Amino acid sequence: MAGHRHLSAGSARVRLLNDGICPPEVNMARDLALLEAFERGETPATLRVYQWASPAVTYGVNQQLPPRLVEGCERLGIPMFRRPTGGKAVLHGHDLTLALVWQPARVRLYPRQVYLQLAPALMEAFRHVGVPAAQGDAAAPDPRSLDDGGDCFATPAIADIVHAETGIKLMGCALLVRGAKVLMQASIPLRLPEAPVEALFGHAHPVPPPLELETLVQALYQSLADYLAHNGS
């Protein structure tokens, strides 16, 4: 259900903005507007969660796109949108997508440091819904490389969360660190995509574990609120 909620956790006040199902063309612009409003001091730290009305692909701000992916999206009528964050291409439409804006307690952290601080809260959220989780351990993929088909979910990088037993990537994450403020964008597959993944990336995606949407949203909200109470604002 779409709506707003606030949770006071220690000194942090975190807003949950549940936007429900949105048209693809609004989502990246809305995430960037959320960061800009936070930078101006108009909103508190916010977790925005949403889904997609139809399939779409977002890709990292510095990514070089493989011709296969571009041609496949054009052929299938799947729109593509550049993210303000880094990382590689994500196929949406079957996932829960997150945007989190906050200011870490230690200002001007490098992205890797931000990931290392945030990962325990994300893993705890998955554990709360019965999925054993771990942090990815692969090096961040080169945004110019085409070897992985341009696919975010091909590499379980240190920025990502994986199933602790199977190694399946549960959550792909990307950051924009701008001054002291941070935007994280992340995708959690809820089911297999309807769009033909192999036609876009050259390989299939594994079946994600079953996740109940509302329970997952609440677990993410509570874990991130607890994290921000001690590590941000």
| Residue with tokens 């009305």, as numbered in its chain | 53
Q: Is the dihedral of CA 42, 48, 51, 56 positive or negative?
A: positive
C-alpha to C-alpha distance for 59 and 230, rounded to whole angstroms: 32
Rg (alpha carbons) of the chain, rounded to whole number: 16
Angle between helical axes of 111-128 and 213-231 (0-180°, round to 10):
140
Query: Which H or E run contains 193?
Result: none
Active-site residue list: 152
C-alpha to C-alpha distance for 46 and 117, rounded to whole angstroms: 17
In degrees and rounded to multiples of 5, residue 133 shows phi and psi of -125, 150
Q: Is-contact 17 24, C-beta < 8 A? A: no
Q: Is 114 exposed, middle or buried (0-12, 13-18, 19+ CB in 10 A)?
A: buried
C-alpha to C-alpha distance for 181 and 88, rounded to whole angstroms: 22
> Residue 83 forms beta bridges with which residues?
none
